[in-house]
Amino acid sequence: MSDTVVVGLDVGGTSTRALAVTLAGERLGTGRAGGGNPTSHGAGRAAAELLTALRAALSGVDPARVRAGTIGLAGAGRLLADPAGRAAFDGAWRDAGLRCPYAVHGDALVAYASGTPHAHGTVLIAGTGAIAAQVRDLRLDRVADGHGWLLGDAGSGFWLGREAVRRLLADLDAGRAPGPLGRRVLAELLGVERVADRPRDTVDAVVQAVTRRPPVELSRLAPLVVAAAVAAEPVAAGLIGAAAGHLADSAARIRPPGATDPVVLGGGLLTGDTPLAAAVGAELARRWPDAPLTTAGDGAAGAAWLAARDLPEVADPAALHALLVPATP
């Protein structure tokens, strides 16, 4: 049984990560490549990054030992519906020397599986965007938000960044001096904290600095909000609280009241010791007091576990989860 190897891949917008691991939990290789989201980068580019990460993870591993694989990626449904995209991924899989089948799942399911082996539960993700999903029998069931920055992503990094700018503009309109968060936003966008003698000139400069770039890049201001909230800046603390409320609202659209199965928090804003993670945790504990709360870990390991658990030699998927997926601190 320890001869058997599984492969997990976590394909994100900015990086692709691969893991080859035995059913005993021995990590044989890892690989990393550039962003491979087929929706934003095209399936051909995504497949090329996939191959790079796969080859690195499999260097020194006999590919005949690999018995199963799972690829987690955003927009999985769109890839599966696109014959050309599917063919590009098939080609990368073969070019890596793999002959076993592989499954494609949404990145939300892989994040969930990196946090818990429980068959049913909820995953709530906040990074640049935001999405909540209900998991049933380790399949994504219903989904809330993930609607993108124009229509949704409430409580995401984009949302925090945009709201920080909106609060700054409201201060400037009203002739109020910006507070600590507003000054940090000014410094980031304009290079200076000072408001012009005509505050409307600063308003115009801020609007132009934001609209010169793709809207989603407002999310780069989210770390300023997080840092200011750590320092108890009141505007930032208010935004973090509002974001936590939006994220819990999204979860509530799909998660029944009184549910006791686990909630997994994922995405850059909810993993690690961030004020948003703490605020969301408190909000979830208030709404679902009996639900265990865990944090997403290594997505490639979660994907590898999803691949392995259906193999005939796996008797106890939960025990295998403990072996394959490192516990998140």
Q: In Å, what is the CA distance from 53 to each residue of 56, 77, 264, 284, 325?
A: 5, 22, 26, 36, 19
Among 56, 61, 103, 143, binds a second copy (CB under 8 A): 143
Is residue 215 within the footprint of a second copy (CB under 8 A)? yes
Tokens 């392995």 found at: 308
Nearer to a second copy, 51 or 206 (CB): 206
Region of 96-104, 110-118, 210-218, 314-322 interacting with a second copy (CB under 8 A): 210-218
Among 254, 278, 293, 314, binds a second copy (CB under 8 A): 254
CA dihedral 20, 22, 26, 29 (to 10 degrees): -20
Nearer to a second copy, 254 or 311 (CB): 254
Nearer to a second copy, 24 or 81 (CB): 81
Two structure tokens written together for 319 = 């025990």
Nearest residue to 13 (alpha-carbon basis) of 34, 43, 42, 44: 34
Q: Cβ 210 to a second copy, closest distance in Å?
A: 6
Residues 19-58 touching a second copy, rule: CB under 8 A, are none
Is residue 162 within the footprint of a second copy (CB under 8 A)? yes
Nearer to a second copy, 194 or 200 (CB): 200
Region of 7-15, 187-195, 206-214, 313-321 interacting with a second copy (CB under 8 A): 206-214
Kindly report the number of other CB atoms within 10 A of residue 120's CB atom: 15
Question: What backbone phi and psi angles, to 5 degrees, belong to 93?
Answer: -60, -45
Is residue 253 within the footprint of a second copy (CB under 8 A)? yes
Is residue 173 within the footprint of a second copy (CB under 8 A)? yes
Q: If DSSP codes are grouped into helix, strand and coil, which group holds residue 103?
A: strand
Tokens 């948003």 found at: 276
Q: How far is Cα 192 from Cα 322, in angstroms, rounded to an integer?
A: 50
Q: How far is Cα 110 from Cα 123, in angstroms, rounded to an integer?
A: 10
Is residue 315 within the footprint of a second copy (CB under 8 A)? no
Two structure tokens written together for 228 = 């200011």
Among 137, 191, 197, 211, binds a second copy (CB under 8 A): 211
Among 7, 51, 125, 165, binds a second copy (CB under 8 A): 165
Region of 103-111, 147-155, 260-268, 271-279 interacting with a second copy (CB under 8 A): 147-155
CB-based contact 28:318 (threshold 8 Å): no
Q: How far is Cα 142 from Cα 131, in angstroms, rounded to an integer?
A: 11
Nearest residue to 226 (alpha-carbon basis) of 290, 271, 256: 271
User: Where along the sequence are the contacts to a second copy (CB under 8 A)?
Assistant: 142-145, 147-148, 150-152, 162, 165-166, 169-170, 173-175, 200, 203, 207, 210-211, 215, 250, 253-254
